[in-house]
Amino acid sequence: DVKVTQSSRYLVKRTGEKVFLECVQDMDHENMFWYRQDPGLGLRLIYFSYDVKMKEKGDIPEGYSVSREKKERFSLILESASTNQTSMYLCASSYGTTYNEQFFGPGTRLTVL
């Protein structure tokens, strides 16, 4: 079974802190994604990566950066956390083309105080 893991299920940080969210997948998938999920808005793509060291902006990249130094690991970085970044963050991975399903991690619920 494909497994996507995220470093924390729940995280509480203070405004201005630098926050790292880590995602690891064990199925050698080329593509990895970071979403945020807010009620009524569905999932919104923050960044994605289709190869090591490659990254592409999604719909809402402002305030975020990403790092993919190894194929299995995709990190989301909040350089200076703000209260409007309080959300559920979901990581996903997929292989091959865009027509293949994405496999999701359990999510990280981040609260910024």
| Residues of the shown chain interacting with other proteins in the complex, contacts defined by CB under 8 A | 31, 33, 40-45, 48, 50, 56, 58, 88, 90, 92, 94, 98-99, 101-107, 109
Query: Least distance from C-beta 70 to other proteins, angstroms?
Result: 19
Least distance to other proteins, CB of residue 16, Å: 27
Tokens found for residue 45: 């793509």
Nearer to other proteins by Cβ, of 26 and 79: the residue is 26
Give the type of residue at 7. S
Rounded to the nearest whole angstrom, what is the least distance from the CB of residue 80 to other proteins in the complex?
A: 26
With respect to other proteins, which residue has the nearer C-beta, 22 or 103? Answer: 103
Q: Which of 27, 20, 40 is nearest to 100 (CA)?
A: 27
Least Cβ distance, residue 9 to other proteins (angstroms): 8
| Cα 80 from Cα 98, distance rounded (Å) | 32
Minimum CB distance to other proteins smaller for 22 or for 95 = 95
Query: Measured between alpha carbons, how far is 103 from 76 in angstroms, rounded to an integer?
Result: 17
Shortest CA distance to 98 belongs to which of 24, 33, 15? 33
For residues 73 and 91, what is the distance between their CA atoms, to the nearest angstrom?
Answer: 10
